Amino acid sequence: MIRLCVLGPSGRMGKAVLEAAQGVTNASGRGDGVTVTAAVDRGEAAGIGGEVAPGVRATTDIGAALDASDVYIDFTTPASTRGAAIAATPRRRAAVIGTTGLSAADDEAIAALAQVAPIVVAANFSVGVNLLLGLVKQAARALPDWDAEVVETHHRMKRDAPSGTALAIARSIAAGRGVDYDAVKRHTRDGDIGPRPAGEIGVSTVRGGDVIGEHVATFFGAAERIEIAHRATSRAIFAAGAVRAAAWVAGKPPGRYDMLDVLGFTP
């Protein structure tokens, strides 16, 4: 049995991870072989002290929680994710990290953990989006002169923009073309922007309602266009993927892995 520590159990994803780990919504049975032994949340969060899994209460003591687990699953905030990685490094604790909107300093803390422990980091843990990453890369490689645009839509509470998934899709398009994404990206358009530069990769953000996550990559040719889209209708897909990643990563050599490694996909 792999012992899981769930960070942010009161959050949208934290709740979905608890359900997936307990097999409640996980029809594929991916939760088998894992057990939740610890949970960590913010001090003021309602979940502190309450039971989040049979016999498990959320605490603010990340050290004790990591000591009671083999792998932690983190869908929280960038600051919390950095703090957890710093606490996990001396403990060489394996991790599954799904938080998005990370800064360079957050990435550094995660990189330090990856030196001593196996970790899976992904902006999206669904099977469908990870397949889509390969499809857009292939399309971008075949259609180097077509205009590529990504549009992402999420619920009104989402904090970071563009979504980590939209950025991963845009980076796959750049990789398919063998170009540096930062040199060709366009995240905002406003005012007299002139004609679209050749080779630009655009990412646009829409926010509203309770949309769990929609991503559409469009390749515009002359008089034709291709759309490759993914629409999530339940957080259970991300949670099931994260639990599957936790079971996969336990016992692997130290290093940073992604969901393509877990799924065995080659984009």
Q: Which of 75, 84, 65, 89 is nearest to 3 (CA)?
A: 65
| Residue closer to ligand NAD, measured from CB, 44 or 182 | 44
| Residue closer to ligand NAD, measured from CB, 120 or 201 | 120
Window 80 to 99, contacts with ligand NAD (CB under 6 A): 80, 83, 98-99
- Closest residue to ligand NAD, based on beta-carbon distance: 11
238: left (phi over 0), alpha (psi -120 to 50) or beta: alpha
Largest CA distance in the chain: 61
* Contact region with ligand NAD (CB under 6 A), list: 36-44, 64-72, 177-185, 196-204: 36-44
Residues with catalytic roles = 154, 158
Rounded least distance, CB 109 to ligand NAD, Å: 13
- CA–CA distance from 263 to each of 74, 92, 242 (Å)? 19, 24, 11
x/- mask, ligand NAD, residues 131-170, rule CB under 6 A, reads -----------------------------x----------
Q: Angle at which helices 164-177 and 127-142 pack, to 10 degrees?
A: 30
Q: Which of 188, 167, 171 is nearest to 180 (CA)?
A: 171
Residue 45 in contact with ligand NAD, rule: CB under 6 A:
yes
Residue 258 in contact with ligand NAD, rule: CB under 6 A:
no
Residue 31 in contact with ligand NAD, rule: CB under 6 A:
no
* Contact region with ligand NAD (CB under 6 A), list: 9-17, 26-34, 63-71, 189-197: 9-17
| Residue closer to ligand NAD, measured from CB, 25 or 146 | 25
What's the rounded Cα separation, in Å, for the pair 50 and 13? 17
- CA–CA distance from 213 to each of 27, 93, 168, 228, 232 (Å)? 21, 30, 14, 14, 5
Of 2, 5, 6, 13, the one binding ligand NAD by CB under 6 A? 13
Residue 101 in contact with ligand NAD, rule: CB under 6 A:
yes
Backbone angles phi, psi at 123, to 5 degrees: -75, -15
| Residue closer to ligand NAD, measured from CB, 184 or 240 | 240
What's the rounded Cα separation, in Å, for the pair 146 and 228? 14
Pairing of strands 51-53, 34-40: unpaired
* Contact region with ligand NAD (CB under 6 A), list: 30-38, 75-83, 106-114, 187-195: 75-83
Rounded least distance, CB 185 to ligand NAD, Å: 19
| CA 215, chain centre distance (Å) | 14
Residue 77 in contact with ligand NAD, rule: CB under 6 A:
yes
Q: In the complex, which residues of this chain contact ligand NAD (CB under 6 A)?
A: 7-8, 10-14, 40-42, 45, 75-77, 80, 83, 98-101, 122-125, 160, 238
